[in-house]
Homo-oligomer: A and B are copies of this chain.
């Protein structure tokens, strides 16, 4: 932490900050410029006074943070890539898994059929929502535990592990009984009660970036999960909210290399939500792989025009087959495989 004093702050104010710095257990390192004094805080504080408190002191212009706040999710103290097991392979390694399936689990037959179909075309895992976060209370909210049971049947039929969303902290143990991967949706990325619960679980977590959350926020939310003892976290970029109106979200492809650089956790991309229109999902999936994504999660539905949710962004089977073919080629071009 570096405290920048105001232009022309009095010596008395400077000394007050220095006194506080020492009281907090840091060693102050003072640099006197021509117009301004800056005070570096060396060491670790025991007492917990933080950036904001210093920023509030009289005579202080601003406080600059030097080190990153995510100790467990960051690479500084954990340089090697984390590999998360999924269906016999490891997410974060050479192979790029594709998680595919419908937005919502609509019926037992539907999910079993789709599971077998996407398995056949090369999917690594099955996605499908039993609990659906919907902007409107009047939209379809999912089939709940019954949907989870159908997912489990689909796993048996297809051999694909299950990725499904959990929204209610109280239901984490129940959902974890059925799921191989617990998905935290974008709208719950800073639902800290929920993060704590999945942190206590030992089931792998797919953590989606919130639509107004910075990369730093996402890594801090991963930190919540990691700090509760669950080491198997996958980060997911799914688009952020901007002023652009021709697409549902803006896919922040920049976030992929940045997260790979700053964190050891695997990074999954969700091209379906990232752009919101099925006709553009393939190029966006390819862009993610080319940028270094460790995996994809894609919405697939046999008849998108009849889907209970997200039909507009779902690939049909022919589209998914095309995606798998194209992903394989781009993956190889960047030294990986799909």
Contact = CB atoms under 8 A, between A and B. Distances in A.
User: Contact residue range for chain A?
Assistant: 35 or more
B56 A223 contact: no
A1 B242 CA distance: 25
Interface string A200-235: 000000000011111111001001100110000000
B261 A279 contact: yes
B216 A246 contact: yes
A290 B286 contact: yes
A286 B55 CA distance: 24
A31 B27 CA distance: 10
Give this chain's copy count: 4
A193 B257 CA distance: 34
A120 interface: no
Interface stretch (A105-113, A145-153, A154-162, A299-307): A299-307
Contacts of A224: 137
A190 B192 contact: no
A326 B330 contact: no
Given A34-B44, A241-B212, A191 B188 contact: yes
A49 to B, nearest CB: 8
A133 interface: yes
Interface string A231-248: 000000001111111110
